[in-house]
């Protein structure tokens, strides 16, 4: 019960009127020497950093596990509250949360509320509890009223589950009126179409993000009671809340004129960067706006990211992951902002994944006759049988150790894979399995491995 009590004590109603949203995620880590751990990340945003401190820490956050992420002075400040829960109970926690009064908005939402569901029962497919979906967004996203804009919320799931987005409902919000100017798809795309000036202003956006297993699984609690969860049942749910502002019309919606346009070497939206514990990552971002002056880069990401500028339109995000980030994929989101007269213009929201590996590794792209593969393997002595998530689309990605492994049996662990092939899974199963086996053997696995297709998304590899 520790987790439930802790959150309720933290998330009490505040008297301030400048709430700008929340993004909550949790990650269940593998067994450590002191037991299992659940890492909880709660990004909260208010109209100022002082308001955050007053709400969360009664005005003084020194000595607390609170870290400033970024701020846009005069608009918002985002900080993250991070804590680890040791020796987690194998149960399900529902944590209704009341935060504070929303900043003024057009859809009439005053008090912010959310509901988190933390699923910590043991899963039959991965043999450990669930981790929530991972995503991120800035506290304030803005667009001129005459410009089309799609916000593709970049989501991932550590367990390979399907992630779906929807507007919050019921206990997930105090007032559940969605913004009239935005539509949300289950695939987590928010769409804005040009509108008239009467719709201009800020809107409170309250989303719920859920993960669904790709096949029926069994959840077992600490008392060995079991429940079957199907693909229609969500495992966990997290709140994603922010402010969407419709600004006055821009003279032009063409990127690079008033609205900043990203230029190389800026990573593309959805790009994947791999790093290792204690290895520094630099994300270089460049943008231009010929009729406006670029003023700043705004971002949201993990704690301890440093932001710097080397001239107008040139920015760098620098981050060094620690041991607590091992095996986690963090979502970095950023925009570039520009001014022209009294108007503020924001680029598209761009988000990327940065995944931290626990051991030094290097991804190696590979190709075969009919399938494009970029595999990754780990040579650790696990049980004799492991399962790998696969789909019959695009690429297969992971890592291969730099050092030469010791002689002996090798095993493939938790390989998330996507495979693109011209062959039919229904009619050419044996041929596809043979190509996959050949590729695994080429990567160093024994020649007597046995591959069995469990279903369209799960492959079993047995090493004799």
DSSP symbols for 43-83: EEEESSHHHHHHHHHTT--TTSSEEEEEEETTTEEEEEEEE
Region 1-249: CATH code: 2.60.40.60
DSSP 227: E
DSSP assigned state of 35? B
Burial of 430 (0-12, 13-18, 19+ CB in 10 A): exposed
Q: What angle do CA 244, 247, 252 make, to 5 degrees?
A: 125
CA atoms of 106 and 104, how far apart (whole Å): 7
First-residue to last-residue Cα distance in the chain? 43
**Local confidence pLDDT in tens for the 464 residues of the chain:** 333 333 333 343 344 469 999 999 999 876 666 567 788 899 999 999 999 998 888 889 988 899 999 999 889 999 999 887 776 678 898 888 777 899 999 999 999 999 999 999 999 999 999 999 999 999 999 999 999 999 999 999 999 999 999 999 999 999 999 999 999 999 999 999 999 999 999 999 999 999 999 999 999 998 999 999 999 999 999 999 999 999 999 999 999 999 999 999 999 999 999 999 999 999 999 999 999 999 999 999 999 999 999 988 999 999 999 988 888 899 999 999 999 999 999 999 999 999 998 765 433 232 222 222 233 332 233 333 333 333 333 222 322 233 333 333 333 344 545 565 666 665 677 777 788 787 777 766 777 778 776 555 456 666 65
- Condensed to tens digits (0 to 9), the pLDDT of residues 282-316 reads 999 999 999 999 999 999 999 999 999 998 899 99
Q: Is 225 exposed, middle or buried (0-12, 13-18, 19+ CB in 10 A)?
A: exposed
- pLDDT for 119: 94
Q: DSSP assignment, residue 325?
A: G
Pick the CATH number of 251-358 from 3.40.50.300, 3.40.50.1820, 2.60.40.10, 2.40.160.20: 2.60.40.10
d(CA 125, CA 129): 10
Q: What is the pLDDT of residue 444?
A: 64
Give span(s): CATH 2.60.40.10, the chain.
251-358
In sequence order, which residues have a C-beta less than 8 Å from that of residue 258 and are 6 or more positions away?
Answer: 250, 251, 252, 289, 291, 292, 338, 340, 343, 345
The boundaries of every CATH 2.60.40.60 domain in the chain are 1-249
* Bridge partners (DSSP) listed for residue 206: 241
Establish whether the linkage from the previous residue to 26 is cis, with ω within 30° of 0: no
> b or e along 16-36 (b: 16 or more beta carbons within 10 Å of the residue's beta carbon)?
bebbbbbbbbbbbbeeeeeeb
């Amino acid at each position: 019960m520790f987790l439930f009590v802790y959150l309720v004590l933290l998330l009490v109603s505040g008297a301030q009127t400048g709430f700008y949203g929340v993004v909550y995620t949790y990650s269940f880590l593998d067994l450590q020497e002191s037991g299992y751990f659940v890492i909880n990340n709660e990004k909260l945003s208010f109209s100022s950093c002082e308001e955050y401190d007053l709400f969360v820490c009664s005005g003084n956050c020194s000595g607390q596990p609170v870290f400033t992420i970024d701020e846009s002075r005069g608009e918002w400040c985002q900080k993250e509250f991070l804590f680890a829960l040791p020796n987690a109970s194998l149960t399900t926690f529902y944590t209704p949360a009341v935060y504070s009064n929303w900043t003024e908005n057009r859809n009439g939402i005053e008090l912010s509320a959310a509901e988190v569901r933390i699923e910590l029962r043991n899963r039959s497919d991965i043999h450990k509890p669930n981790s929530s979906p991972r995503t991120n967004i800035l506290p304030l996203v803005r667009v001129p009223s005459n410009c089309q804009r799609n916000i593709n919320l970049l989501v991932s799931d550590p367990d390979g589950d399907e992630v779906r987005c929807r507007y919050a409902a019921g206990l997930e919000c105090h007032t559940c009126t969605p913004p009239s100017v935005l539509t949300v798809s289950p695939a987590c795309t928010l769409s804005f179409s040009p509108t008239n000036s009467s719709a201009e202003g800020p809107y409170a956006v309250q989303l719920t993000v859920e993960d669904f297993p790709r096949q029926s699984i069994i959840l077992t609690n600490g008392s060995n009671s079991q429940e079957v969860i199907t693909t229609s049942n969500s495992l966990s749910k997290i709140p994603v809340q922010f402010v969407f502002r419709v600004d006055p019309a821009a003279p032009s919606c063409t990127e690079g004129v008033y609205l900043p346009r990203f230029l190389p070497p800026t990573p593309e939206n959805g790009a994947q960067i791999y790093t290792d514990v204690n290895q520094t990552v630099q994300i270089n971002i460049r943008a231009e706006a010929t009729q406006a002056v670029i003023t700043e880069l705004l971002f949201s990401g993990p704690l301890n990211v440093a932001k710097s500028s080397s001239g107008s339109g040139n920015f760098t995000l620098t981050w060094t992951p620690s041991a607590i980030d091992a095996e986690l994929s963090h979502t970095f989101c950023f925009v570039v902002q520009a001014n022209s007269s009294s108007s503020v213009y924001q680029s598209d929201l761009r988000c990327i994944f940065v995944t931290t590996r626990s051991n030094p590794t290097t991804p190696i792209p590979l190709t075969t006759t009919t399938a494009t593969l970029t595999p990754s393997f780990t040579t650790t002595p696990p049980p004799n049988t492991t399962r790998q998530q696969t789909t019959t689309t695009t690429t297969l990605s992971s890592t291969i150790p730099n050092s030469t492994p010791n002689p002996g049996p090798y095993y493939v662990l938790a390989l998330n894979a996507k495979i693109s092939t011209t062959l039919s899974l229904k009619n050419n199963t044996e041929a596809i399995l043979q190509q996959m086996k050949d590729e695994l053997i080429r990567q160093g696995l024994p020649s007597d491995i046995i591959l069995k297709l469990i279903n369209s998304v799960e492959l079993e590899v047995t090493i004799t």
